[in-house]
Amino acid sequence: MRDNCKEGYVYILTNRNNKVLYTGVTSNLIKRVSEHRSDVVAGFSKKYRTHKLIYYELCGSIESAILREKQIKGGSRQKKINLINELNPEWKRSVRSYYCLRLLRSLRSLAMTE
């Protein structure tokens, strides 16, 4: 049975010198970024070595994440750059903030059960 309540993430990766952008969608951001960094999946990301997570959005469902991914991919390169610059103007790796988000969510869940 398919889990329609699963959260989804839209993310943007870049290469070492920030010249190439890759936009993707996943239900497990940490695992997917790890796959990109390990080059286990052949294709664009492996070819252009887009291993640096510089932007992501948490969406309420995987379906809404897919729609958002299409919206971002349909935009110009400059729109993607503007989107990244809004939240990550120095284009630093964003994965650490993801771990903080997970910790905060876990603490909130714990507080709600007590």
Compute the mean pLDDT over every residue in the chain, rounded to the nearest whole number.
Answer: 85
Domain region containing 62? 8-113
Instruction: Name the domain count of the chain.
Output: 1
Domain annotation covers residue 2? no
Domain annotation covers residue 3? no
pLDDT of 2 reads: 47
Q: What is the pLDDT of residues 57-109, one digit of tens each?
A: 999 899 999 999 999 999 999 999 999 999 888 898 875 565 555 555 566 55
Q: What's the CATH code of the domain at 19?
A: 3.40.1440.10
pLDDT of 34 reads: 87
Task: Please spell the DSSP secondary structure of the chain, one letter per residue.
Answer: ---TT--EEEEEEE-TTS--EEEEEES-HHHHHHHHHHT-S-SHHHHHT--EEEEEEEESSHHHHHHHHHHHHHS-HHHHHHHHHHH-TT----HHHHHHHHHHHHHHHHHHH-
pLDDT of 108 reads: 58
